[in-house]
A and B are shown apart, each in its own frame.
Chain A
Amino acid sequence: MTDVHAQPGRRPTHPRGDVPAVEVTDLRRRYGDFEAVRGISFEVRPGEVFALLGVNGAGKTSALEVLEGLARPDGGTVRILGADPLRQHAAVRPHLGVLLQSSGLPGDLTVAETVTTWARTLTRSRPVEEALAQVGMGDRADVRVRSLSGGERRRLDLALALLGRPRVLVLDEPTTGLDPESRRTVWSLVREMVRGGTAVVLTTHHLEEAEELADRIAILRAGRIELEGTPEEITGTQPATVRFTLGPAAPPLPALPGVRLVEPAPRVELHTRDLQPVLTALLGWAAAEDVALGGLQARSASLEQAFLAVADGDPTTHPTRLETGSTR
């Protein structure tokens, strides 16, 4: 399902010349001889969600660590609100919210004590009750962190990340291990932050999450951005699929321009980048020849299909970087 076009209100428009909240230029990270991040660049504007996708080991977390100010880049630069997150710690941190992929909190403090402690270190903290209510943990305030479920811990983590009203939010796999309901809570929180103008960079393994939240997606493979664009542009790099079955007496298929026949009759599968005209021609042919197209299915490519094609490095769909009008 790739019907992500029809959400006009979702994407806030920003006047040209709006300064990006996150600027990553030719970022590189190396561990010994291994180069985990090999020169990636992207920008995220206020009120925009940017998703980094990639299989494990693609370099997502290594890249985020530099944005989070936890690691020094081996090349390139990262600017958060115009400042270096590591060297200009004091300027960046009051505006930066971070959710690490895995992180710990002392088990013997209660939820409320944990949030209160964190709040005392922040410049513009939300009230503790508000922060807990936000993540649906209001009734868990007096529970020790040790006794929380995995999902509750993750929501507490998120409450801490949002506590300082950040203008830039970095979320490394925010919903991994969450049940579907908690996941939706997280999504609506992220959307709320975005409506308030927060720029969000997230990684995820859930492609539906990227489709749901992201204004732009970059697919990372072996430390490089192989494909970048809106969800529609990303899915547009892959052909649409048409499937149907033909009876034994059916005449041979007509020549359909721009169509690749993946499976021949009787269980036909066609790939095309022009779904609508091909479908029109196919249906016209079927009507004229009085052929039944059994179990007819036609669908645009899914993000998953595009992701798998790029993540596997499929040479037939060689990736191109899509320049989107909104980025530059």
Chain B
Amino acid sequence: MTTATTTAPPATGPSRTRRTLALAGAETRLFLRNRTAVVNSVLLPLLLVAAVPALGVGGGEVAVGPRLLVSAIGVMLVFLTYYNLLTTFVARRQELVLQRMRTGELTGTEVVLGIAAPTLLVTVGQVALVGIGVAVLGEWSAPVDVVLPLVALVGGAALMLLLAAASTAFTRTSESAQITALPFLVVSSSLCGVFFPLSVLPDVLATAARMLPLTPVVELAQLGLAGTTWDGQGVGWAGAWTEALVPLAVLAAWLGIGASLARRWFRWAPRR
């Protein structure tokens, strides 16, 4: 077959998914070769679970497992998922790998997803480890709803990805991420309802805190796993879904904002 025309010969290449998986596979291999990162990723959720008997908080009337899992989702998403994605993106940019990846058939979105794949997988694995851990300790109770926590985890991870991508605009090196990520880490985690219930705040502040990116994720996980609203009311399945409307809307809004910021701000090349 000889085609010498300038119109592209009709060759179908690998699909978007296959291209992304190719890069994700290589990135996962890189992650697995980093022993320290692998060990840390497994140890951290186990330590979190070990804290339950160590601190003597378990064994009560109400199982602490669901509450612990909610906290784990909230804390891990910002401190591990967001932070690791930000440092990975910036490191790959400094190494000039991002620009290199972009010279081929991969689109920008595919490059970002492929590079994020190991971190996202680790997030899911760590949440699963905490869940299994508390179940082994006998601190588990049946969730009120399973969809809401899954939405919280998937939506939360997607939001962290978008915010990390957007944060590359003001993060020059992977070291400077320790500083540039700090405001988001501190504000969003302290005001997400994990460390203290938001209902202790004055109304205006509580409402403001509920609008922060991480709070709806924690609220949704808590509604589904523990059947508890943001201000501590117990609810059943129907009540959980009614109460979920606000956090679902807030999360959706943040996903929209995050997508537009990431698209506008993601930087592929180091500053010259």
Which positions in A face B, CB cutoff 8 Å? Answer: 19, 21, 46, 68, 70, 81-82, 89, 91, 93-96, 98, 100, 102-109, 113-114, 117-118, 120-124, 157, 160-161, 164, 197
In the bound complex, do residue B96 and residue A121 qualify as a contact, i.e. CB atoms below 8 Å apart? no
In the bound complex, do residue B12 and residue A123 qualify as a contact, i.e. CB atoms below 8 Å apart? yes
CA distance A106 to B11 in the complex (A): 29
Q: Which residues in A have their C-beta under 8 angstroms from that of B23? A: 117, 121
In the bound complex, do residue A113 and residue B104 qualify as a contact, i.e. CB atoms below 8 Å apart? no
Given contacts A68-B103, A104-B100, is CB(A122)–CB(B26) below 8 Å?
A: no
In the bound complex, do residue B19 and residue A121 qualify as a contact, i.e. CB atoms below 8 Å apart? yes
Count of interface residues, chain B, beta-carbon cutoff 8 Å: 32
The answer to whether B6 has its CB under 8 Å from any CB of chain A is yes
In the assembled complex, 18 residue pairs joining A and B whose CB atoms fall closer than 8 Å, in A order, are: A70-B103, A82-B6, A91-B8, A100-B99, A103-B97, A103-B100, A104-B96, A104-B100, A105-B97, A105-B100, A108-B34, A109-B29, A117-B23, A117-B26, A118-B104, A121-B23, A121-B106, A197-B4
The answer to whether B202 has its CB under 8 Å from any CB of chain A is no
CA distance A82 to B5 in the complex (A): 11
In the bound complex, do residue B33 and residue A104 qualify as a contact, i.e. CB atoms below 8 Å apart? no
CB contact between B104 and one of A46, A122, A124 (< 8 Å): that residue: A122
Given contacts A106-B95, A109-B30, is CB(A117)–CB(B11) below 8 Å?
A: no
CA distance A87 to B49 in the complex (A): 50
Q: Whole-angstrom distance from the CB of B266 to the nearest CB of chain A?
A: 13
CA distance A103 to B101 in the complex (A): 9
Q: Which residues in B have their C-beta under 8 angstroms from that of A93? A: 104-105
The B76-104 residues at the A interface (CB cut-off 8 A) are 92, 95-97, 99-100, 102-104
The answer to whether B155 has its CB under 8 Å from any CB of chain A is no
Tell me the dominant secondary structure on chain B's binding face.
Answer: loop
CA distance A161 to B100 in the complex (A): 10
The answer to whether B125 has its CB under 8 Å from any CB of chain A is no
Q: Whole-angstrom distance from the CB of A110 to the nearest CB of chain B?
A: 10
The answer to whether B7 has its CB under 8 Å from any CB of chain A is yes
Q: Which residues in A have their C-beta under 8 angstroms from that of B29? A: 109, 113
In the bound complex, do residue A120 and residue B8 qualify as a contact, i.e. CB atoms below 8 Å apart? no
In the bound complex, do residue B13 and residue A100 qualify as a contact, i.e. CB atoms below 8 Å apart? no
Q: Whole-angstrom distance from the CB of A159 to the nearest CB of chain B?
A: 13
CA distance A56 to B183 in the complex (A): 40
Closest to A157 in B: B100
Q: Which residues in A have their C-beta under 8 angstroms from that of B7? A: 81-82
In the bound complex, do residue B107 and residue A108 qualify as a contact, i.e. CB atoms below 8 Å apart? no
Given contacts A109-B29, A120-B19, A123-B13, is CB(A103)–CB(B99) below 8 Å?
A: yes
CA distance A152 to B268 in the complex (A): 25
CA distance A109 to B92 in the complex (A): 14
In the bound complex, do residue B26 and residue A106 qualify as a contact, i.e. CB atoms below 8 Å apart? yes
Q: Whole-angstrom distance from the CB of B200 to the nearest CB of chain A?
A: 47
CA distance A94 to B96 in the complex (A): 22
Q: Whole-angstrom distance from the CB of A108 to the nearest CB of chain B?
A: 5
